Structure 1
Amino acid sequence: MSVVIRRHELSDAEWVALSRFLPSSGTAGRPRSDDRVVLNGIVWKLRTGSAWRDVPERYGSWQTLYTRFRRWALDGTFSRMLRQIQAEKDAAGDIDWLVSVDSTIVRAHQHAAGGGKGGTGADETADHALGRSRGGLSTKVHLACDGRGRPLGFVLTGGNTNDCTRFEQILESIRVPRVGPGRPRTRPDHVIADKGYSSRRIRAYLRRRGIHHTIPERADQVLNRLNRGRRGGRPPVFDQAAYRLRNVVERCFNRLKQWRGLATRYDKTRESYQATVTIASILLWI
């Protein structure tokens, strides 16, 4: 029997790709709701940015959808999906390891406030990657994507966090497992980033790891180096042709923000919003 695929639902190919990684119930008792229906409801909710209570009844009880979403977010199901799909793409030679790094700010809706303290920190908003500024609460998504504009790794912080302070975390979030034996791949061939990541610490970090990079100098750094004369040293190597390829990360953000539940943050907790970004990333890879 053919399945009618409605707007914002998974296609047959997407369902086949994802269903392999869903955990089984593993318990006796009443059969649980159909995984495809539940996953379609979750995707519909995140694509539209609707409240859980407003998800159409054809997907079943909204409490079931929310419970399953939170369970899979907390037990790492969505993260494992993303890693395994990346591993298969890498084994097929379908990852371009010319990596671009950047960040984007996401405005937090008032419904995102009020989550309980989650981590070891004392600040509730910091625990859940929410930052306060004059514009209100916001979250910043720091992301590294491959040369074809697909997310390899990301880090969530408050929207008032400086980009360069999270550069190392972004690169360390890249862990593409091997299909066979071997350690996960964590090192890009080349990294491209804008002036916000121009610092001695970042350049030294990339040199230690043997990663080629293209990062332009800020105007004040150029002036300081020239003012020091010979002591200022030589300017860092800058490949203008490679830097033109940095726009892939902007296009990646553009595609991710087609998901209204990602473009505006409604989730109270870090884990839920991280799962939202992960699900959107998974479907970009598929």
Structure 2
Amino acid sequence: MGRGDLTNAEWDRLESFLPPGGARGGRWSDHRRVINGVLYRVRTGVQWRDLPERFGPWETIYKRHRRWSADGTWSMLLSRIQAAEDAEGRIDWDVSVDSTAVRAHQHAAGARKTPAATDPQGEPAGDEPGRSGAAETDRPAEGSGQIRECLGRSRGGFTTKIHLAADGRCRPLALVLTPGHYGDGPQFERVLKEISVPRIGVGRPRTRPDHVLADKAYTSRKNRRYLRRRGIRHTIPERLDQQRHRKNRGSRGGRPTGFDSERYKKRNSVERAINRLKGFRAVATRYEKRAYIYLGTVTLAALTIWLRT
């Protein structure tokens, strides 16, 4: 077993959730070796053609990763592991929300544009990123199609932004991709709606945190109304301009927002989750042209964090 490969205990947790081996003429044989090959690439960021021979043909590993990113297999595995952790009471539901910009490699540009929602091979065209593997945006496609593939220009250059919610133990609960120039606040609802931890047995998935922490980028009246409507307690600081505006309106400005400075210190859990994700070099730099494949890469990195924390 190489450094970074799945251990026997980690493989035992995943094996029962994977498609059965031998299906379609044996195409799904040896899942463990293929997953180890994808993990090696996600961890090191090497080109697919440079994968060590011990993992088998690089085409098999790349195509498996692409297919499982498209059909939601990586997201399904992440949900199953989260469900097992929640059933044993090992999820801290004080959830923190933040985002991070990822520099895109020059080879990430130039994805082939498709007029329909899927390309001729039946894969998502990248118009809708989300946990299902499709790439979703809140704005219409523009120009060369970079917006569709969650690529944008920001002060960091050619970038993609990862929005995420993390539990109190620094593990990603939900992931959303946008172009790098998109703001954080407008994606707040989207990120929280992506939280869905299934129950083992009977019951609906858990979607509501006990408490939400976020920085000033998320302190809009719309976001606070959304949290109140769902009955979610929150700790979000108020910007100075908002405080002045509320005071200038007098009684019409409403009551001051509550803020617990001690509890706010716990927001560093999402910063630490981001650091863990960016420890994977294929996450820290985006090489994929398609948003849904890059989302699969980030999801696999999150799955690895859950398995090894």
TM-score by length of 1: 0.94
Computed over aligned residues only, the root mean square deviation of the Cα atoms, in angstroms, reads 1.5
Alignment partner of 2:208 out of 175, 187, 194? 187
Aligned-partner residue type, residue 18 of structure 2:
L
Look up the equivalent residue of 2:141 and give its one-letter code.
Answer: A
TM superposition shift of 1:26: 5.4
Q: In structure 1, how many angstroms separate the alpha carbons of the residues matched to 2:29 and 2:38?
A: 13
In structure 2, distance between residues paired with 1:261 and 1:19: 24
Structure 1 residue 32: Cα displacement: 5.1
* Cα pair 2:288 2:294 within 8 Å, conserved: yes
Greater displacement, 230-239 / 188-197: 230-239
The question of 1:144 aligning with 2:165 is answered yes
Q: How does 1:93-108 map to 2 (within 5 A)?
A: 93-108=89-104
Shift of 1:150: 0.8
Task: Label 1:150 to 1:30 Cα distance change in 2 as closer, same or farther (>3 A).
Answer: closer
Choose which of 25, 29, 35 in structure 1 pairs with 2:31.
35
Quick one: distance in 1 between partners of 2:182 and 2:43?
Answer: 27
- The whole-number CA distance in structure 1 between the counterparts of 2:156 and 2:94 is 34
Task: Identify the residue that residue 116 of structure 2 maps to in structure 1.
Answer: none
Match of 2:303 in 1: 282
Question: Structure 1 282/32 Cα, relative in aligned 2: closer, same or farther at 3 Å?
Answer: closer
Could you tell me which residue of structure 2 aligns to residue 19 of structure 1?
15
Conserved 8 A contact 2:277-2:302? yes
1:177 equivalenced with 2:173 (yes/no) = no
Residue 46 of structure 1 aligns with an amino acid whose one-letter code is: V
Deviates more, 1:214-223 or 1:128-137: 128-137
Task: Summarize the alignment of residues 160-239 of structure 1 with structure 2, pairs less than 5 Å apart.
Answer: 160-239=181-260
Is 169-178 or 129-138 further displaced after alignment? Answer: 129-138
Q: Does the CA contact (< 8 Å) of 1:83 and 1:177 recur in 2?
A: yes
Q: How many pairs are equivalent?
A: 282
In 1, Cα distance between equivalents of 2:24 and 2:245: 69
Map Cα deviations across residues 180-208 of structure 1 (whole Å, 9 max, x no partner): 11111100111000000001000000000
Q: Normalization by structure 2: what TM-score?
A: 0.88
CA-to-partner distance for each residue in 1:87-126, whole Å, 9 max, x for gaps? 1111111111100000000000011111233228533111
Q: Describe the SS at the equivalent of 2:205.
A: coil
Contact conserved, 1:21 with 1:77, CA < 8 A, in 2? Answer: no
- Are the aligned partners of 2:19 and 2:28 in contact in 1 as well (CA < 8 Å)? no
Where 2:23 maps in the other structure, the secondary structure is coil
**Offset of 1:233 from its aligned partner?**
2.4
Query: Secondary structure in 2 aligned to 1:85?
Result: helix
Q: Which secondary structure state, in structure 2, belongs to the residue aligned with residue 144 of structure 1?
A: strand
Q: Secondary structure in 2 aligned to 1:143? A: strand
Aligned partner of 1:49 in structure 2 is 45
Unmatched segments (≥5 aa) in structure 2 = 114-124, 129-139
Amino acid at match of 2:20: S
Deviations 1:149-206 (A, max 9, x none): 1111111000100000100000000001110111111001110000000010000000
Residue 122 in structure 1 maps to residue 122 in structure 2: no
Q: 2:74 aligns with which of 70, 75, 78?
A: 78
Q: Distance in 2 between matches of 1:135 and 1:211?
A: 34
SS in 2 for 1:245: helix
2:151 and 2:158 in contact (8 A); partners too:
yes
Q: Name the % identity.
A: 57
Measure the CA separation in 2 of the matches of 1:82 and 1:201.
30
Question: Aligned equivalents of 1:110 and 1:207: distance in 2?
Answer: 43
Give the AA of the match of 1:14. Answer: E
C-alpha distance in 2, partners of 1:161/1:55? Answer: 34
Deviation at 1:211? 0.3
- Preserved CA contact (<8 Å) 2:21 2:30: no
C-alpha spacing 1:30/1:212, structure 2 compared with 1 (3 Å)? closer
- Cα distance in 2 for partners of 1:187, 1:114 equals 39
Q: Distance in 1 between matches of 2:192 and 2:28?
A: 39
Q: In structure 2, how many angstroms separate the alpha carbons of the residues matched to 1:31 and 1:132?
A: 40
Identify if the C-alpha distance between structure 1 residues 132 and 34 changes in structure 2 by more than 3 Å, giving closer, same or farther.
same
Aligned mate of 2:61, from 65, 81, 90: 65
